[in-house]
A and B are shown apart, each in its own frame.
Chain A
Amino acid sequence: MPNDGSNNKKMSIIVTKGTLDWAYPPFILATTAASMDVDVTMFFTFYGLQLLKKDLGHLQISTLGNPAMEMPMMGMHMTMPNIVSAIPGVDAMASSMMRSLIKKKGVASIPELREMAVESDIKIIGCQMTLDLFEWGPKDMIPEMELGGAATYMAGALESDINLFI
């Protein structure tokens, strides 16, 4: 098998979520697939487009409505009751806790994974309709983003071995 960037396998991922935690699955799978010589296309739509903004410092997690989120804290695991999650500033606090946990555990940061995605020639497509809807321009986004729509995605997906919706 060649080791030069192609085994003729293709994967597409639709990225729909724009929170710090949900940014991980698409970027981890895309960069790993690319490292295994798969030709990867990522299609960012709706909140997923947040992950293509030049600066990613604004990404947050929300503990609201997420009883599965247990943060390790002082030797225990803490969950946040919804009534506490709703207080302004709690999401920001939980997000900064998550960021320090990511660093401490040797987990890649999202900017780092995105840079690796760009470096490994993953095709990054931004949904034109979403940009229009939320009034974002290409100037807000990374220059590697190409614009496209549902038909662009479908053309790639029809040729792909793996299609994921995250």
Chain B
Amino acid sequence: MATQTLDTKGMNCPLPILKTKKAIKGLSAGDTLEVLSTDPGSVKDFEAFCKSTGNKLMESSEDSGVFRYLIEKP
């Protein structure tokens, strides 16, 4: 179970990433954030975001047009 869920469905680039950054700021180390998005570009964007910021992308999946990411704050 994620510590917090962020729903960015309907939002376009770069809003899902910007909102994710904001949400991560409010978390403690070891907490997880679940992000939901309908932006197909977000798949690569979340990989890149996590790679550059050191956050851990635990899961990346898609279910009927909704992308779901699970991110752990280091």
Contacts and interface: CB of A to CB of B under 8 A. Distances in A.
B15 interface: yes
A91 interface: no
B17 A35 contact: yes
A3 B14 contact: no
Interface residues of B, number: 19
Contacts of B13: 28
Contact of A116 (B10, B18, B20, B53): B18
A37 B12 contact: no
Contact of A3 (B11, B17, B24): B24
A3 B15 contact: no
Interface string B3-16: 00000001111110
Interface residues of A, number: 16
Given A28-B13, A106-B11, A3 B18 contact: no
B12 A3 contact: no
Interface of B: 10-15, 17-18, 20-21, 24, 48-49, 52-55, 73-74
Q: Which 8 A-B pairs have the closest CB atoms?
A: A1-B54, A35-B21, A36-B52, A106-B12, A32-B14, A106-B10, A107-B12, A106-B11
Interface of A: 1-3, 7, 28, 31-32, 35-37, 105-108, 116, 120
30 contacts: A1-B53, A1-B54, A1-B74, A3-B24, A3-B54, A3-B55, A3-B74, A7-B52, A7-B53, A7-B54, A28-B14, A31-B14, A31-B18, A32-B17, A35-B17, A35-B18, A35-B21, A35-B49, A36-B21, A36-B49, A37-B52, A37-B53, A106-B11, A106-B12, A107-B12, A107-B15, A108-B15, A108-B18, A116-B18, A120-B21
